[in-house]
Amino acid sequence: MHRAPGETITLPVRDALAVVEESRAGYSRDKFKHWIDADKNGCNARAEVLLAEAVTAPEVGPKCALIGGNWYSPYDDRYLDSASQLDVDHLVPLAEAWDSGASAWTAKEREAYANDLDDPRALIAVSAASNRSKADKDPADWLPPYAPYWCEYVTNWVADKTLYQLSIDPAEQTALADRLAACPDRPVTVTLAR
């Protein structure tokens, strides 16, 4: 069922998503304009996430260069002391979003998705190594190396897909169901982005 943007909904995590076959046809990362400076404060979306998620705040230099600071990467249970050691991960990768419905979005909707600072589950600072091992995989093909984070990861995955009314494919549905069966059954609450 399609719902209105801005509507806040709460759903059981196991029942939140439509199952649809996916297609990567026509995908290009360039179709998602990302790391923009939406509020024109000199820091792009990547830097904004790093600033928001810092365990110890970095100094902000010219052109939003981040100096010092400390971050926690929940994917691999590591603390990192340089912004250059981190990637900002689109929890649901851009290619996966495309496969799951973003191919039908406008360029502005894809830009909003790629730079979403409104829902803290959408973008997450993690070690570059863990993000690159994930690439554009969904939970059928990749879970964080740090197993105690799996329940939060798959719950946030469902929340992010629900937020944007994206679908899941059958293999993804099976993987999510298997993983969620071992997790507390907590509802997902989101304010729909589109």
Residue 55 CB-density burial (10 A; 0-12 exposed, 13-18 middle, 19+ buried): exposed
Angle (deg, nearest 10), helices 150-163 and 170-180: 130
What six digits make up the tokens of 12?
């059981």
Residue pLDDT, tens place only, 1-11: 456 666 676 76
Strands 8-12 and 59-60, sheet pairing: unpaired
Residue pLDDT, tens place only, 58-70: 999 999 999 999 9
CA distance 163 to 17: 10
HSE-CB at 53 with a 13 A cutoff on CA atoms is 29
pLDDT over threshold 60, residue 23: yes
pTM (predicted TM-score): 0.91
Residue pLDDT, tens place only, 122-140: 999 999 999 999 999 999 9
